[in-house]
Amino acid sequence: MRIGKDAGMKYIVITSKHHDGFAMYDSKVSNYDIVNSTPYQKDPIKALSAETKKQGLKFCFYYSILDWHYPAVYVDAAGKDPTAGNRTTKMKPGGKEEYVKYMKEQLRELITNYDPAVLWFDGEWQDWWTEEDGQDLYKYVRSLKPNIIINNRVGKGRQGMAGMSKTDREYSGDFGTPEQQIPANGLPGVDWESCMTMNTTWGFKFYDDKWKSSETIIRNLIDIASKGGNYLLNVGPTAEGLIPPPSVERLRDVGGWMKRNGGSIYGTTASPFATQLSFGRATSKPGRVYLHVFDWPVDGSLRVPAWGKTVKKAYLLDGRKNLKFSQSSDGMTVQVPTRALDPIATVIVLETLN
């Protein structure tokens, strides 16, 4: 929790039950859990919940609708593909009603005992799960905690890995869930969150060393914020429960950047510009625009397109050095130092009159 907090994170999402059906908490409706089926015999979710709240973070859950372990759910034995169970499973006659009852009992345990701020569903792509099922489950969860936030994978609305809800009808869920990608332009008025791995793996694989650089992760964060989204950055712990050193290193770098520049990310809304900036990205607050400069101008002149506001002041966020600028109907030019303060992203603040 300290590593996440020091990285600048505001909420933690932990897997309470994945597709394998194994509960990572002390479930009273199933013995297939970490307390009853392992030598560990303790509830890590309870410990994480307490520590997260102690450190001032929001505690949230991932929960899979797909469950390979439950007796009523099965993979067609005729299929030879070992990954078939991930793509599609079948239900025994009458099994769906039985399973939904079981699932609701587990969700009641999770919400009642651990008080999560967000419930992050997955595994909803199975043929036997319908949008009507999703709407019913959404209402049920909300009846247990009215102010909980629920993702759009509770129903059938998301458009594949793009994660955003379809528009042909009203679908259940409070926010979109792009996976391993960032929408090109975001969606005005729609809440969304990109879930991405730090390497290529959601869990832990000792041989997966294709780590994203700190620069890529920080710029992803900026890009997502500039489009009005949140960044759900995955960490896959080892079998010993440790966060891999490459993850720790990158999270430390993210935290360092956020300590200096967090004001340009927290509480901001999407870029006010009609198109993405050629030199980087922008976020905004009332009376302020934050320019995140990825490509520093070699001539010392940063050219910014017009967006209908009059600028009264320009300065570097890290150091508060005032910058000279000129503005016209076509845009503005800001005179910047010969070198970037931060090679990953230097932030310039524009304060406006209106």
The pLDDT tens digits for 1-15 are 999 999 999 999 999
The answer to whether residue 115 scores a pLDDT higher than 90 is: yes
Mean pLDDT of 346-354: 94
pLDDT for the residue numbered 164: 87
CB atoms within 10 A of CB 14: 18
The answer to whether residue 258 scores a pLDDT higher than 80 is: yes
Domain covering 2-264, topology: TIM Barrel (3.20.20)
Angle between helices 131-144 and 95-114 (to 10 degrees): 30
pLDDT for the residue numbered 188: 77
Half-sphere exposure at residue 125, Cβ-oriented, CA atoms within 13 angstroms: 13
pLDDT in tens, 133-177: 999 999 999 999 999 999 999 999 998 898 888 888 899 999 999
Angle at 97 between CA 91 and CA 102, to 5 degrees: 100
**Residue partners of 232: CB distance under 8 A and separation at least 6:** 13, 193, 194, 195, 196
Q: Per mean pLDDT, which of 224-233, 234-243, 314-323 is the most reliable?
A: 224-233
The neighbouring-strand residues paired with 35 are: none
pLDDT for the residue numbered 80: 60
Cα maximum dimension of the chain? 73
pLDDT for the residue numbered 58: 97
Mean pLDDT of 226-232: 97
| CB 217, CB 254: distance < 8 Å | yes
CATH (one of 3.40.50.970, 3.40.50.720, 3.30.420.40, 2.60.40.1180) for 280-352: 2.60.40.1180
pLDDT for the residue numbered 318: 83
In the chain the first and final C-alpha atoms are separated, in Å, by: 40
Numbered ranges of CATH 2.60.40.1180 in the chain: 280-352
Numbered ranges of CATH 3.20.20.80 in the chain: 2-264
Q: Residue 343 burial (CB < 10 Å; 0-12/13-18/19+)?
A: exposed
Q: Residue 167 burial (CB < 10 Å; 0-12/13-18/19+)?
A: exposed
Average pLDDT of the residues of the chain: 94
Residue 236 corresponds to which tokens in the numbers above?
Answer: 């896959």
Q: How far apart, in whole angstroms, are the C-alpha atoms of residue 340 and residue 319?
A: 12
